[in-house]
Amino acid sequence: MFRISVLIVLLVTIVLYWKNRKQHSLNQLKNQLLQNLKADRSGFLKQLRMFSFAWSALLFVLLGLSGFLPELLTGHHMSGFILVLHVLLAPFFLIAFTFWIFASVKRQAFIEKDWQIFKQGWTTIRSHQPTMDKLFFWSFFLLSLIGIGAIILSLFPLFSSSGIGNLIGIHRYVMLLLFLIAVVFYFRYFSLNQKIKIEEK
pLDDT digits (tens, 9 = 90+) for 147-171: 999 999 998 888 888 899 899 999 9
pLDDT digits (tens, 9 = 90+) for 180-193: 888 888 777 655 55
Structural domains for the chain: 2-17+32-200 (1.20.950)
Contact 45, 103 (CB under 8 A): yes
Non-local (6+) Cβ contacts of 29 within 8 A are 190
Determine contact, residues 55/96, Cβ cutoff 8 Å.
yes
User: pLDDT class for 70, splitting at 50, 70, 90?
Assistant: confident
24, 187 Cβ separation under 8 angstroms: yes
Give tens-digit pLDDT for 24-60.
555 555 565 555 555 555 566 777 788 888 888 889 9
Whole-model pTM above 0.85? Answer: no
- Whether 74 contacts 41, CB under 8 Å: no
Q: What is the DSSP-derived secondary structure letter of residue 110? A: -
